[in-house]
Amino acid sequence: MKAYKEYMSRVSVSDTLHRKILAGRKNNVSARPSIFVKRFATVACLFALILLSIAVVPKLLQRSPEPIAGDNASALQPDTDKSPTDGKSSVLQSDTDKTVLDSNSPVLQSDKDISASVLPKDFTLNFNKAGMQSTAKIYIPGHFWQELTNDELQALFPGLMQKYNVRATANFMSDENGASLFSIDAHTTTVSGLRAYIQIAPGETSVDYIIVGDTKTTDVLGTEVTAGYFESSPNSKGESNVICFAKFKLSETAYYVEIVGRDTEKETVREEITDLIGLLINAGAADLDIFDPVIPELRNDRLDLDEARADPDFGSYLPTALPDGFVFEDAVRLINQERNGLTAHWAKGMGYIDWHVTKLTEGDKKRITSVQDVHNYDLSLYPIPRADSVPDELREIVGDPIFLSEELTLEAVLRRTYEAADSGDISGPRMQFGILYGDILVEINVKGAQPEAIFEMVSGAG
């Protein structure tokens, strides 16, 4: 999503926090084989006959993947996310029988080396059928974030770090009294190559799905776990995704776990989220007091038009001439670790003009185009649906090109304009593009204004 859209969402959050893709709408997860844990024969009795001082070798178990359950008549497949089929993880609980997985190999080792990775006793999760719920935008007052160091990851995820490569971001909220933790967003790739998301938060976590009907929970080492499954609608190729998710609390710390796979990976998704839950619960509640955050420069100020025009960095790039009928609604001046910009919004009924001003970044430079290179921006060359008509290598620049202000012409604006008459929406022109004034980038998104008026607006800016 482009910068101006991010600003107009009025959500001061990091890309990582909103990294929670509604995976049910995507179908891009690689298929991998099921996981196998090697079985080791117990040979302690033989050694005991020779040396009485040698301890008994811990018993080791093997997990054999169960057959993938067939599709049923339900719109949501049980094995897709959190399937109601009987899935078990081969794990141990006894202090005398602890075994763990080495970080570089599935071969089991003694708990003498890595006691944090010990898994709990076998358990079977109850998977509840779920539907997707509307997710409200999350607003974090004084939001800032930091990537977790390896030491912080070890402290928060001792049960996972021996087996998985975890990366995570801590999100903080702040005010004049200081900063406090809002949530931790963690990501990892499972043994079979599936993508997993884990959220930890003091109090409650956010969930994208809602259980349908009565909810059955599972007791895992004395912790009540609520698990569910959801299956996306098939795409044009008949492929669909499955999402398994679970939530639980350790003390007052809330956890949410989610794994996504294709519908052909139902059993693997179920098995791997079961293992993740076992590792997290067995390790105990994460220590959320390990952080000592330093509040960076932050702004998230709502401005009137005069205040916006007076902004010393970007105010002079706001337009002075507006199309007839468009009325100023609001402006936001935002500064955080990723963004530093000014956004203004004008509206006319269901029509709008969004105007976002920021400094050009390295990532923006690849969208700069000459007006001579019409294949980079002329929408008449790419009929709707553009997902089918725009070549992959041009998709980003065609979607949102940037013109040099001294080169921009009315003809270029006309080439960026297209008509739409969606059901329940107003008909009329739409356009989206950016204009570069030196190192200042102005990005606009328009519905319901004529291209001639927009060209006059951008010509008078800067």
Same domain, 205 and 350: no
pLDDT-derived band at 462 (thresholds 50, 70, 90) equals low
pLDDT bracket for residue 160 (50, 70, 90): confident
Q: How do residues 416-439 score in pLDDT, each as one tens digit?
A: 999 876 666 778 899 999 999 999
pTM of the full structure: 0.58
Same domain, 242 and 331: no
Residues 454 and 366 in one domain: yes
Domain count within the chain: 2
Q: Residues 272-292: what's their mean pLDDT? A: 92
| Beta-carbon count within 10 A of 241 CB | 26
Q: Residue 284: which of 47, 129, 120 has the closest Cα?
A: 120
Say yes or no to pLDDT of 338 above 70: yes
Range of the domain at 175: 17-31+66-283
Q: Which of 447, 139, 428 has the alpha carbon at shortest distance from 302?
A: 139
User: What pLDDT score does 198 carry?
Assistant: 96
Answer yes or no: is 4 within a domain: no
- Residue 136 confidence (pLDDT): 63
Q: Are 295 and 415 in contact (CB under 8 A)?
A: no
The rounded distance, in Å, linking the Cα atoms of 58 and 39 is 12
Neighbours of 385 (CB within 10 A): 8
- Is residue 128 scored above 50 in pLDDT? yes
% of the chain beyond a pLDDT of 70: 71
CA proximity to 161, closest of 282, 279, 60, 285: 279
For residue 48, tell me if it sits in a domain: no
Residue 179 pLDDT > 60: yes
Residue 12: inside a domain, yes or no? no
* 253 and 351 part of one domain: no
Which secondary structure element, helix H or strand E, spans residue 277, and what is its range? helix 266-283
Domain boundary residue among 283, 315, 344?
283
Q: Residue 356 phi/psi, 5° resolution?
A: -120, 130
pLDDT in tens, 14-61: 444 444 433 333 333 333 333 323 323 333 333 333 333 333 333 333
- Write the pLDDT tens digit of every residue in 202-240: 988 988 788 888 889 999 989 999 999 898 888 878 888
276 & 305 share domain: no
Residue 448 pLDDT exceeds 50: yes
Instruction: Look at strands 428-437 and 402-404 and give their pairing.
Output: parallel
Closest CA to 58 of 43, 70, 80: 43
- Residue 241 to residue 446: CA distance in whole angstroms: 34
For the segment 76-105, the average pLDDT, to the nearest whole number, is 30
CA atoms of 82 and 74, how far apart (whole Å): 14
Domain co-membership, 382 together with 259:
no
* pLDDT tens digits along 299-331: 989 999 999 999 999 999 999 889 999 999 999
CA atoms within 13 A on the CB side of 191: 23
| Domain-embedded: residue 346 | yes
With respect to residue 55, please indicate whether it lies within any of the assigned structural domains: no
Tell me the residue type at 36.
F
Confidence bin at 132 (pLDDT 50/70/90) = confident
Q: Given 248, 283, 318, which residue is the final one in a domain?
A: 283
pLDDT at 407: 95
pLDDT, position 210: 83
Q: Is the domain of 23 the same as that of 157?
A: yes
Q: Are residues 359 and 389 in the same domain?
A: yes
pLDDT computed for residue 311 by the predictor: 97
Domain boundary (229, 253, 283) is at 283
Contact 414, 400 (CB under 8 A): no
59 is a domain residue = no
174 and 122 share a domain? Answer: yes
256 assigned to some structural domain: yes
Task: Answer yes or no: do 258 and 323 share one domain.
Answer: no
Scan for tokens 């000592």, then name that residue: 292
Considering the domain architecture, whether residues 267 and 405 belong to the same structural domain is answered as: no
pLDDT at 446 over 80: yes
Domain for residue 39, yes or no?
Answer: no
In 341-429, where does DSSP find H-type helix? 362-365, 386-389, 395-399, 410-415
Same domain, 97 and 203: yes
Please check the confidence at residue 123 and state whether its pLDDT lies above 50: yes
* Burial classification of residue 396, based on how many CB atoms lie within 10 Å of its CB (0-12 exposed, 13-18 middle, 19 or more buried): middle
pLDDT at 461: 67
